[in-house]
A and B are shown apart, each in its own frame.
Chain A
Amino acid sequence: MARYIGKRLIYMFITLALIATFTFFLMKILPGSPVASADKLSPEQRAVVEARYGLDKPLPVQYFDYMFGLAQGDLGISINQFKGANVTDVIQSRMGPSAQIGFQGMLLGTFLGVLLGMIAALRQNTWVDYSSTLVAIVGISIPSFVFASMLQYFFALKLEWFPVALWKDGFMSSVLPSIALAMFPLATAARFIRTEMIEVLGSDYITLARAKGASGSEIAFKHAFRNALIPLITVLGPMAVGILTGSLVVEQIFAIPGIGEQFVKSIMVNDFSIIMGTTIFFSVFLIVVILIVDILYGIIDPRIRLSGGKS
């Protein structure tokens, strides 16, 4: 296990270093540097600006400065969106709302999805099963921004049950965005749990439990459900990716002051240091989540250890 974790950690650092290197050179190629309007500056002013951003040093030195900064969590300075603010601070200040709707969406989606998948498996090939499969297919198919704008149109604009946008009414503001984000984990969990449950229900120890005279609900919850739930950990990674991708558009639609909304805005105004900083932040987040998921799964299900991780 230790060897497996070590191997994964090494890969993680190689991947992150690659992304960071790539982003560094991208920032060099792309237009919109701090000295973009250099013609208007006197040579002295220009030197001051360049020194401030460390642009007067040779490229390799800049690269290592950047990499060392990254290692200490320094993502650089915003160019035009938050004039001169530290990118790390910007991201930190916007983490709260994103984390809240992300978690709420994840919890709600997984809970409902597991419920739906379980019911579908227990009532296999009935209308219950078909309608839950339909919900899952629709949930995977409809893009989050379509679903979010539908929610906003019907529940906020027409019915006026929830605020249309912004982050001013506490929990009420987070309801619609969380539901919009919940669709993907819901659909994923429902499909996954259904398949797992059906497989588990067909296994020998369920037959044995039935032969011993265990009741239907006892079999469903005590034996089948528990064993079907474990592999759900493997889809937590894709779910986190889905939530994060969704958050970019959902936050945009509901005007939530989170990381996703700020990211989209920085794309609009070409603030590359914010774009790069957020990209690196997203990469670290997703890579760490997937690493944790894989390690967790290896600990919970010892069969994984033999093959050294899922292929």
Chain B
Amino acid sequence: MTQNLEKLPKGSFERITVSAEQAERISKPSVSFWQDAWYRLRKNKGALVSLVLFALIVIMSFLGPVISPYEPNAQTITHANLPPKIPVIENLGIFDGVGTLGGKEVDLYELKKVEVNYWFGTDGLGRDMFSRVWKGTQVSLFIAFVAAAIDMIIGVIYGGISGYFGGRVDDIMQRIVEILTGIPNLVVVILFILIMDPGILAIIIALTITGWTGMSRVVRGQVLKYKSQEFVLASRTLGASDSRIIWKHLMPNVLGIIIINTMFTIPSAIFFEAFLSFIGLGLQAPDASLGTLINDGYKLIQYQPHILAIPAVVLSLIMIAFNLIGDGLRDALDPKMKD
């Protein structure tokens, strides 16, 4: 090695001089917190696929009832209990309108002389499952998003005040939270559903009545951590007002964890809505959510499994997608939590 090096002509090497100002130059463009988070999230394949999947489901939940030629609640008794049939895919042997009747596999569309196609089949009252499933998805997502948003707003304000002002205010507010969190979520939700008229509003109120406590604890913890740090002290010394400190200095730091928390509230709200509907405390007919559709389908599981399967698959996909997006966001927004 040394010999080889000595044989090399000296002229091929040139000394690079680095000037003092060049050494300090930042060679890569500076990345903001959100750009960095997006970069991390993009590398997480599971989260990215989930994001696309979730976007598709949201689009379908709005588009589905529109593109389907049937109304979600319109009943056509002669078309009851039809299995799914989709024009091109039927040639593959799935979604071909074949169902069991009296233990035999027959094309029910031919048997009942149905000329049209029902992509997801029909239910016991001859209602189109395609438009019902997407309409139900819309309702489930609406409930979950509104509930999560309310949880977030109350939780952030409550936790923020409690953490920022501290002292006796914090003491009293935390005692209240401690008692509220002691009441099991399930119990609160069921009791509130019982006193209110069943419906979307009742479910949202029941889900949010104590749901915000989790968020308020997280926000309080974060605010407590940041408010005693030097940059807040510096800002205060320079004469910044409380609202400026909260919005300019604390909020950006806490925002990440608020988003992560909300991302985990949404699937739990979707689950609770479906759960309540399944035990008969949810929406009332003819309104449908994914939970009521699963409940309806369950009653026909033995003969018409598609009525259960389709909303169950959509619900499960939403839940999986949300958990994966939540995990991805947690890793992306808060790299410290990963290791």
Which of B190, B194, B267, B312 is A149 in contact with, Cβ under 8 Å? Answer: B312
Which of A19, A137, A143, A252 is B271 in contact with, Cβ under 8 Å? Answer: A143
Q: Which segment, of A8-16, A41-49, A80-88, A214-222, faces chain B?
A: A8-16
CB distance from A146 to the nearest CB of B (A): 4
Flag A259-286 by CB within 8 Å of B: 1 or 0 each: 0000010011000100100010011001
| CB <8 Å contact, A15 and B186 | no
**Is A211 an interface residue when CB atoms closer than 8 A count as contact?**
no
A23-B191, A29-B195 given as contacts; is B178 within 8 A of A143 (CB)? no
Which of A23, A143, A153, A283 is B274 in contact with, Cβ under 8 Å? Answer: A143
Give Cα A143 to B312, complex, Å: 9
**Is A311 an interface residue when CB atoms closer than 8 A count as contact?**
yes
Give Cα A282 to B191, complex, Å: 12
CB distance from A266 to the nearest CB of B (A): 11
Which of A146, A157, A252, A268 is B302 in contact with, Cβ under 8 Å? Answer: A157
Give Cα A149 to B310, complex, Å: 13
| CB <8 Å contact, B187 and A19 | yes
Give Cα A252 to B281, complex, Å: 14
Interface centre among B179, B271, B278 (most CB of A within 10 A): B278
**Is B298 an interface residue when CB atoms closer than 8 A count as contact?**
yes
CB distance from B306 to the nearest CB of A (A): 12
A11-B179, A22-B191, A311-B221 given as contacts; is B275 within 8 A of A143 (CB)? yes
Sorting the interface of chain B by its residue count into under 10, 10 to 19, 20 to 34 or 35 or more gives: 35 or more
Which of A249, A253, A282, A283 is B275 in contact with, Cβ under 8 Å? Answer: A249
Sorting the interface of chain A by its residue count into under 10, 10 to 19, 20 to 34 or 35 or more gives: 35 or more
Which of B267, B271, B279, B294 is A248 in contact with, Cβ under 8 Å? Answer: B279
| CB <8 Å contact, B217 and A245 | no
| CB <8 Å contact, A149 and B308 | yes
| CB <8 Å contact, B323 and A137 | yes
Residues of A within 8 A of B186 (CB): 241, 244-245, 282, 286
| CB <8 Å contact, B195 and A26 | yes
| CB <8 Å contact, B185 and A241 | yes
Q: B-side binding surface: helix, strand, loop or mixed? A: helix
A26-B194, A153-B301, A279-B190 given as contacts; is B183 within 8 A of A15 (CB)? yes
**Is B69 an interface residue when CB atoms closer than 8 A count as contact?**
no
Give Cα A157 to B281, complex, Å: 28
| CB <8 Å contact, A142 and B319 | yes
Q: Which residue of A lies closest to B281 (CB)?
A: A267
| CB <8 Å contact, A149 and B298 | yes
CB distance from B293 to the nearest CB of A (A): 11
Q: Which residue of B lies closest to A276 (CB)?
A: B191
> What are some 15 contacts across the A-B interface (CB < 8 A)?
A11-B179, A18-B183, A19-B183, A19-B187, A138-B320, A142-B316, A143-B319, A146-B294, A153-B301, A245-B275, A248-B279, A267-B190, A279-B187, A283-B183, A287-B182
Interface residues of B (CB under 8 A from A): 178-179, 182-187, 190-191, 194-195, 217, 221, 267, 271, 274-275, 278-281, 294, 298, 301-302, 305, 308, 312, 315-316, 319-320, 322-324, 327
Interface residues of A (CB under 8 A from B): 11-12, 14-15, 18-19, 22-23, 26, 29-30, 137-138, 140-143, 145-146, 149-150, 152-153, 157, 241, 244-245, 248-249, 252-253, 264, 267-268, 272, 275, 279, 282-283, 286-287, 311
